[in-house]
Every structure is written in structure tokens, then in C-alpha cells.
């Protein structure tokens, strides 16, 4: 089975590639080769699984055909212009998040019509398809009400995913990922970056800014859980999904204050003192329109699992991304 990851140099894509190179199988089906694509050249994961790495812009002419030219059996579509950037760059957001996704879906459809090609396609969607006013928790049958360009773009692709799957062009599954915390390395352009920053920087003894109030409540899962969701989705019997191909993934509902308390339990008051409150009305407005918690019953019934507490999210980060960390 050939596996393609689009967005493989990103935070989740790189971790997914490493996990697949270790597992060498998905739901018992052996992986014969990995293909990794991103704007920047992805790094091949350790191990001897054959791996082809390509720098490629998914918005370029012919890129979609090129991506599926080897007819991968499983495609993880993770490339995106993330929330903050898509809000600043309206045209760019639609080009990357909608037009390039549609071009990919069309390239698959043409190969389907020519030769019956119909891969599994796993799409990373977002909680941003939901915008206030919302019930708390948000149930699985809540209608999509995006209030950002990024959320609108993800909602459009969710609809395309349903229709192309209904037609049998591919076997699609979409996952609304929680905000991924703790994101290792440098922050990206997501408006939600501070949810990781207020833990990651103080854990490293560095200052961090908090742009929203401590009462803000949000839905979080670790990078390890996100990779687990994607792998599970790739191997799932999609007959269980029915016509609605995208599901909200499980997570931890917590306030920012709850995150800071957990930081204090792990790293002490000195770490907490490194967080400076610097209100940012623009970020606060965007985050304020986001959902706070979910009842992800469909995903839970299908065996998708996340952490149970912020303490666990921190423990996963220290294990996976900060080995050797000790409290100062
Ligand atoms: N991290 C989160 O909290 C979170 C939450 C919900 C959904 N998601 C979604 O999950 C996916 C992966 O997220 P991530 O955190 O790894 O993001 P990331 O920003 O680390 O990775 C995204 C990758 O997409 C690539 N990309 C962007 N434009 C491209 C283009 N034109 N051509 C080729 N590649 C391009 C980027 O270079 C980047 O490596 C995204 O679709 C994101 O919207 C992430």
C-alpha cells in the first residue's frame, strides 16, 4: 500500500510520517512506500521504508495530477494555510484551502473515471467550521456556522468530501481536529498558537504572552492523539460513517486558567510567573467565536481516543518533544 502525505513538513504531517515509518502498516495492511509532499522539502523519517520526498506547491498548475500520479492507496491531505494567515490573506486562503483541495479531488475523480482509481482520503478539518452562538457542549449534529475565512474554507471542503465520496470517486473521511497542544518548535500562523505557547515557553524557562482572558475555554488534544486519529481514520471501515463523512474528534475541554494550573503542578510557580497577560482584541474576538467543548459521540463510538486532562497533554509533550526535561 502506497501512502501519500500532503503537508508532510508540517507539525502533524512530520509526526504522522514518523509513526507510519515505525508501524509499517495501517489496520494490518503493509505500507510499501511513503510519498511526502509539502511547500518545503519534507524530511524522510528514520527507518528503511522506501520514501520519496518532494517540495511542491499544491496550488501550482498540474500539482494535483502529479501528486496522484503513482496512485497512492491512502492520501492524508493536511496542507493548509492556517487560521491567522487565511484571515489576513483572503485570496491566498481560498487558493490553498479550497481551490487546491478541489483540484486534488478532481485529479482523483479523473483517474477514477479513467481506470477506477478510488483511494482512501483523510482530510484534516477544524473546529473553526463552528462559530458562536453555540451550545456548550456542541453536539455532533450541530450545523456548521463558520465565522472565519479558514473555517468557511474547511466547511466547503467537508461538503466536497461528502459529495465526492457519495459518488465513489474516493473513500473520504474528515476529522475536525481539536486545537493541538503542545505544538513543538516554533509557532505557526494559527490564531490559536498561544494555547501551546503558554505551556511550551514557560516549560523551557522562556516568557510567554497570553492574549485572551483566563476564562476562555477550549478543546485540546496532543499531537500524538492527532496522529492516532489520522491513522485510525485511514484504516476505518467507512460504511460505519454513513453520508456524513466528517466527525469531530475527542479532546480535553479546559479553560486557559486550567492550563496554567496544570503548568504550575508540573513546573512550579516560577514557570507560571513567565506568562504575561497582553490582551489582543483581534485574537480574543476570533477565539471568542469558537466552540468551547463538544460531545464527540460518533468518534468515541468508533474508537477515536484523546487524552483526559491537561496534565496528560503536558506529559505527552515532555515524553515526545522534550526528552530529558526536568523542572527548574
Ligand atoms: N494544529 C492544529 O491545532 C490543528 C487544528 C485543527 C486542524 N488542523 C489542520 O491540520 C492540518 C495540519 O496542521 P499542522 O498543525 O501540521 O499545520 P502546519 O502549518 O504545521 O502544516 C501545514 C503544512 O501545509 C503546508 N502547505 C501550506 N500551503 C501549501 C501549499 N500551497 N503547497 C504545499 N504545502 C503547503 C505548509 O508548508 C505546512 O508544512 C492542517 O490542515 C490544519 O488546518 C490543525
Task: Sketch the domain layout of the chain as residue ranges.
Answer: 2-178+222-248, 191-218+251-293+307-321
Q: Tell the residue number behind the cell numbers 516554533, with chain if given.
A: 186
- Counting every residue, how long is the chain? 328
Nearest CA to ligand 1 atom 24: 79
**Residue 222 in contact with residue 230, Cβ under 8 Å?**
no
Cα gap 198→287, rounded to integer Å: 15
**Residue 49 in contact with residue 93, Cβ under 8 Å?**
no
**Residue 118 in contact with residue 169, Cβ under 8 Å?**
yes
Nearest CA to ligand 1 atom 20: 10
Given this chain, do its domains 2-178+222-248 and 191-218+251-293+307-321 carry the same CATH topology? no
Q: Is 80 in the pocket of ligand 1 (CB under 6 A)?
A: yes
Ligand 1 atom closest to Cα of residue 95: 31
Active site residue 150: yes
Ligand 1 atom closest to Cα of residue 192: 3
Mean pLDDT per 10-residue section of the chain, whose length is 328 residues: 98 98 98 98 97 98 98 98 93 98 98 98 97 96 96 98 98 97 86 94 96 96 98 97 96 98 98 96 87 97 98 98 89
pTM to 2 decimal places? 0.98
Cα gap 9→118, rounded to integer Å: 25
How remote is the CA of residue 8 from the centroid of ligand 1, in Å? Answer: 9
Give the CA distances from residue 178 to residues 20, 158, 175, 192, in Å, rounded to whole numbers and listed in that order.
Answer: 21, 16, 9, 11
Cα gap 47→19, rounded to integer Å: 11
How remote is the CA of residue 228 from the centroid of ligand 1, in Å? Answer: 17
Q: Is 64 in the pocket of ligand 1 (CB under 6 A)?
A: no
Q: Is 196 in the pocket of ligand 1 (CB under 6 A)?
A: no
Q: Is 291 in the pocket of ligand 1 (CB under 6 A)?
A: no
Name the class of domain 191-218+251-293+307-321.
alpha beta
How remote is the CA of residue 114 from the centroid of ligand 1, in Å? Answer: 31
Cα gap 260→133, rounded to integer Å: 26
How remote is the CA of residue 12 from the centroid of ligand 1, in Å? Answer: 8
Residue 34, strand partner residues = 3, 51
Please choose from 9, 16, 82, 126 the residue to mutate so as to test ligand 1's pocket, defined by most ligand atoms within 8 A of CB: 82
Q: Is 11 in the pocket of ligand 1 (CB under 6 A)?
A: yes
pLDDT at 169: 98
CATH superfamily of 2-178+222-248: NAD(P)-binding Rossmann-like Domain (3.40.50.720)
- Residue 83's Cβ-count burial label (10 Å; 0-12, 13-18, 19+) is buried
**Residue 33 in contact with residue 51, Cβ under 8 Å?**
yes
Q: How is 209-264 classified by DSSP, letter by letter?
A: EE-S-TT-EEEEE-HHHHHHHHHHHHHS-GGGGTT--EEEPP-EEEEHHHHHHHHH
Residue 48 region by backbone torsions, left for phi larger than 0, else alpha for psi between -120 and 50, else beta: alpha
Rg (CA), the chain: 19
Helix then strand count (H, E) for the chain reads 13, 16
Q: Is 38 in the pocket of ligand 1 (CB under 6 A)?
A: yes
Give the CA distances from residue 116 to residues 5, 71, 112, 231, in Å, rounded to whole numbers and listed in that order.
Answer: 21, 11, 4, 24
Give the CA distances from residue 3 to residues 31, 33, 75, 187, 298, in Å, rounded to whole numbers and listed in that order.
Answer: 7, 6, 6, 27, 26
Ligand 1 atom closest to Cα of residue 189: 19
pLDDT at 327: 82
Q: Is 174 in the pocket of ligand 1 (CB under 6 A)?
A: no
Cα gap 115→36, rounded to integer Å: 24
Q: Is 162 in the pocket of ligand 1 (CB under 6 A)?
A: no
Q: Which of 130, 150, 164, 317 is catalytic?
A: 150
**Residue 229 in contact with residue 300, Cβ under 8 Å?**
no
Amino acid at each position: 500500500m502506497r501512502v501519500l502525505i500532503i503537508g508532510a513538513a508540517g507539525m502533524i504531517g512530520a509526526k504522522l510520517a514518523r509513526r507510519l515509518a515505525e508501524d509499517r502498516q495501517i489496520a494490518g495492511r503493509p505500507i510499501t512506500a511513503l510519498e511526502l509532499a509539502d511547500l518545503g522539502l519534507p524530511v524522510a523519517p528514520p527507518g528503511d521504508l522506501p520514501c520519496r520526498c518532494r517540495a511542491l506547491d499544491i496550488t501550482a498548475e498540474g500539482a494535483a495530477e502529479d501528486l496522484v500520479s503513482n496512485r497512492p492507496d491512502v492520501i492524508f491531505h493536511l496542507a493548509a494555510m492556517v487560521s491567522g494567515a487565511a484571515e489576513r490573506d483572503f485570496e491566498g486562503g481560498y487558493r490553498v484551502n479550497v481551490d487546491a483541495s478541489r483540484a486534488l479531488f478532481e485529479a482523483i475523480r479523473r483517474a477514477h473515471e479513467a481506470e477506477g482509481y478510488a483511494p482512501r482520503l483523510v482530510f484534516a478539518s477544524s473546529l473553526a467550521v463552528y462559530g458562536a452562538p453555540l451550545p456548550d457542549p456542541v453536539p455532533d449534529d450541530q450545523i456548521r456556522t463558520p465565522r472565519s475565512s479558514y473555517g468557511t474554507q474547511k466547511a466547503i471542503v467537508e461538503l466536497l468530501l461528502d459529495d465526492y465520496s457519495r459518488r465513489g470517486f474516493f473513500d473520504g473521511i474528515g476529522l475536525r481536529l481539536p486545537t493541538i497542544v503542545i505544538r513543538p518548535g516554533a509557532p505557526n500562523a494559527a490564531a490559536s498558537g498561544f494555547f501551546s505557547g503558554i505551556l511550551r515557553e514557560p516549560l523551557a524557562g522562556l516568557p510567554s504572552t497570553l492574549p485572551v482572558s483566563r476564562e476562555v475555554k477550549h478543546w485540546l488534544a496532543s499531537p500524538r492523539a492527532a496522529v492516532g486519529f489520522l491513522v485510525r481514520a485511514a484504516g476505518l471501515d467507512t460504511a460505519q460513517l454513513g453520508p456524513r463523512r466528517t466527525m469531530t474528534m475527542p479532546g480535553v475541554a479546559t479553560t486557559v486558567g486550567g492550563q496554567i494550573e496544570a503548568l504550575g503542578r508540573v513546573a512550579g510557580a516560577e514557570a507560571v510567573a513567565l506568562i504575561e497577560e497582553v490582551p489582543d482584541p483581534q485574537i480574543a474576538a476570533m477565539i471568542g467565536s469558537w466552540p468551547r467543548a463538544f460531545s464527540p459521540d460518533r468518534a468515541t463510538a468508533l474508537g477515536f481516543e484523546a487524552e483526559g486532562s491537561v496534565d496528560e497533554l503536558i506529559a505527552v509533550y515532555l515524553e515526545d518533544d522534550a526528552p530529558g526535561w526536568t523542572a527548574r
